[in-house]
C-alpha cells in the first residue's frame, strides 16, 4: 500500500465482461485502471495473472465475478498485503452454497422463502408435498446462474430433484439441493458495499432475466436493467438494509467473517413484504452497467475505504436521473451462442448524448483495425441516461438501433415496466 486515496491510485479490476467495463469506467474518473484479462473493447485491458496483483503492482484490486472469490483469490491477495474489494472464500460461501446462506438467514431472522436442504431424494420428495403450488429447486453450489427450477408442476419438480441429486443435471454442484416454496411478486436487486462491520447502500435496479419480450423463453444472465425502480425508493432500500443486509453483515461477523466487498441482494417484493431470494458476492451484470453510471463521487476512495475495513461514515450517492441498459446478445444465446460476426456502429452509438457502451463478449477483428467481432452470449450492454426512465430508455434504444451484428438479439421491452 503506497498511495493514499488523495493521490491517483492504480486500481486493477479482475474480470472480462460488461460489469468490469462499467467498474473500470467509473473508477477511471479518479484512478489509473487496468482490467485483467478484460477484453479488446475495454480500455486498459491487459492479460495478467490475477494472483500477481500484489501491492507492488497496484494499490487496490476489485474482483468482478464470483468464481475467483469462491476460489479464494481475495484471501491470497490479502495475504500479500493487497487491499481487495471482494470477500474471502469464507464470505463467498454466501453465493457458493445456498444451504449455508439459508442457515445464516434463519439465524439472523432474515425473511426468506420456506425451505430445506437435502442430499437424498426421498426426504426432498416428501418436503415437496408440504409446499404450496409453486415449487423451487436449486443447486447448493454454483451452476453458472442456471441451477434454479421454478415450476407449478409437481412432476417436473420431482424430476428436477432426481436429476440434480444424481449429479446428472449439474454434477457435484447439484448433489446437495435447496427445495423451497415459490414466492410471487416483482423482483428487486439491491446493492451494498460492506467493510466487514457496516454496509452502505449502492443502488437498486430491476433486471430482465428471460431472453424474450414479455418475460418469455429461457433464463439468461440478464437482457437489460433499469434504475431507479418506481416504488422502490429510499424508504424501501432502508427497510432492506435494516431487515436484511445489515443483519447479514452482523451474522457474518459473528462467524468470524470479515466481509469486505459488494453484496448483491436479490429480493421478491411479496404481499407479506420483501423476502430475500439470494445473495451474490459481487455486483450484478448488467446491473452494474445501469447503477454505476449514476454514481456521483469518488468510487475509488469509497472502495478503498471498504477494502481497508474502514467505511466510517461514508455513503454512496447517485444522480437524480435514470439509466436503462439494453443487452445486445448473440444468436443462439443462452443455449448455444453463435460467435465470430463483425460488430458495426459501436463508435457512432457511443457518440450519442447520454450513451455509454460496455463491452462483454467481444474479440478483436483481425480484418479491421480497432474493429470487434462477437465472442460470447452477451456481447454489449448499451446504457442510456436521462432525467427519467422514459428519456434514458429512448437514448438506449436509439443507440442500439445503430449497432449491428448478424442475428443480434435485443429485447424491445426493457424498462417498459419502469415507465
Give the nearest residue (CB) to ligand AMP. Answer: 278
Q: What Cα–Cα distance (Å) separates residue 395 from each residue in 88, 224, 248, 348, 398? A: 39, 14, 37, 13, 5
Which residue, 195 or 207, has its beta carbon nearer to ligand AMP? Answer: 207
How many Cβ atoms sit within 10 Å of the Cβ of residue 163?
A: 15
Tell me whether residue 177 or residue 305 sits nearer to ligand AMP (CB atom). Answer: 177
CA distance 157 to 160: 5
Which residues would be at the binding site for ligand AMP (CB under 6 A)?
113, 136, 138, 148, 150, 180, 182-183, 187, 266, 277-278
Do the strands 9-15 and 60-63 form a parallel or antiparallel pair, or are they unpaired? parallel
The one of ligand AMP, ligand GLY, none whose footprint includes residue 289, by CB under 5 to 8 A per kind, is none
Distance CA(177)–CA(343), nearest Å, equals 41
- In the chain, the N- to C-terminal Cα span, in Å, equals 46
- Site string (287-326) toward ligand GLY, x via CB under 6 A: x---------------------------------------
Q: How far is the CB of 210 from ligand AMP (least distance, A)?
A: 9
Matching residue, cell 425502480: 229
Q: How far is the CB of 22 from ligand GLY (least distance, A)?
A: 12
Q: Is the dihedral of CA 141, 146, 151, 153 positive or negative?
A: negative
What is the length of the chain? Answer: 419
Nearest residue (CB) to ligand AMP, 100 versus 397 = 100
Residue for cell digits 421478491? 268
Which range in 2-10, 283-291, 334-342, 392-400 contacts ligand GLY by CB under 6 A? 283-291
How many residues form the binding site for ligand GLY (CB under 6 A)? 8
Number of Cβ within a 10 Å radius of residue 153: 13
Binding window for ligand GLY (CB under 6 A); candidates: 125-133, 151-159, 281-289, 342-350: 281-289
* Mask for 192-221, x = binds ligand GLY (CB under 6 A): ---------------x-------------x
Q: Under a CB-based contact definition with an 8 Å cutoff, are residues 328 and 337 in contact?
A: no
Query: Cell 416483482 belongs to which residue?
Result: 186
**Which residues would be at the binding site for ligand GLY (CB under 6 A)?**
145, 207, 221-222, 280, 284-285, 287
Amino acid at each position: 500500500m503506497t498511495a493514499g486515496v488523495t493521490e491517483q491510485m492504480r486500481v486493477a479490476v479482475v474480470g472480462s465482461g460488461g460489469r468490469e467495463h462499467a467498474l473500470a469506467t467509473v473508477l477511471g474518473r479518479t484512478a489509473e485502471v487496468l482490467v485483467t484479462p478484460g477484453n479488446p473493447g475495454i480500455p486498459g485491458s491487459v492479460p495478467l495473472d490475477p494472483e500477481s496483483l500484489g501491492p507492488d503492482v497496484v494499490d487496490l484490486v476489485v474482483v468482478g465475478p464470483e468464481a475467483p472469490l469462491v476460489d479464494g483469490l481475495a484471501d491470497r491477495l490479502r495475504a500479500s498485503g493487497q487491499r481487495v474489494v471482494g470477500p474471502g472464500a469464507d464470505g463467498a460461501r454466501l453465493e457458493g452454497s445456498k444451504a449455508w446462506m439459508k442457515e445464516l438467514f434463519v439465524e439472523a431472522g432474515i425473511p426468506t422463502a420456506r425451505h430445506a436442504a437435502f442430499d437424498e431424494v426421498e426426504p426432498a420428495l416428501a418436503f415437496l408435498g408440504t409446499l404450496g403450488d409453486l415449487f423451487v429447486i436449486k443447486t447448493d453450489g454454483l451452476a453458472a446462474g442456471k441451477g434454479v427450477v421454478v415450476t407449478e408442476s409437481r412432476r417436473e419438480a420431482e424430476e428436477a430433484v432426481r436429476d440434480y441429486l444424481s449429479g446428472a443435471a449439474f454434477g457435484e454442484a447439484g448433489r446437495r439441493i435447496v427445495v423451497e416454496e415459490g414466492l410471487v411478486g416483482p423482483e428487486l436487486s439491491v446493492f451494498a458495499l460492506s467493510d466487514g462491520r457496516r454496509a452502505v447502500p449502492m443502488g437498486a435496479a430491476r433486471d430482465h432475466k428471460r431472453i424474450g419480450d414479455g418475460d418469455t423463453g429461457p433464463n439468461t444472465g440478464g437482457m437489460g436493467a433499469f434504475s431507479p425502480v418506481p416504488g422502490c425508493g429510499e424508504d424501501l432500500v432502508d427497510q432492506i438494509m435494516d431487515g436484511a443486509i445489515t443483519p447479514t453483515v452482523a451474522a457474518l461477523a459473528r462467524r468470524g467473517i470479515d466481509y469486505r466487498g459488494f453484496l448483491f441482494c436479490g429480493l421478491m417484493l411479496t404481499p407479506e413484504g420483501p423476502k430475500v431470494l439470494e445473495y451474490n458476492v459481487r455486483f450484478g451484470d448488467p446491473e452494474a452497467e445501469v447503477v454505476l453510471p449514476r454514481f456521483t463521487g469518488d468510487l475509488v476512495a469509497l472502495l478503498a475505504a471498504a477494502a481497508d475495513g474502514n467505511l466510517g461514515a461514508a455513503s454512496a450517492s447517485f444522480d437524480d436521473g435514470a439509466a436503462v441498459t439494453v443487452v445486445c446478445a448473440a444468436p443462439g444465446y443462452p443455449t448455444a451462442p453463435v460467435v465470430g460476426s463483425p460488430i458495426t456502429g459501436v463508435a457512432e452509438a457511443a457518440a450519442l448524448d447520454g450513451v455509454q457502451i460496455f463491452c462483454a463478449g467481444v474479440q478483436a477483428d483481425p480484418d479491421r483495425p480497432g474493429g470487434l467481432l462477437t465472442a460470447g452470449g452477451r456481447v454489449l450492454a448499451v446504457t442510456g441516461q436521462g432525467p427519467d426512465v422514459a428519456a434514458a430508455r429512448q437514448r438506449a434504444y436509439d443507440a442500439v438501433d445503430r449497432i449491428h451484428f448478424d442475428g443480434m438479439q435485443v429485447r424491445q421491452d426493457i424498462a417498459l415496466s419502469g415507465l
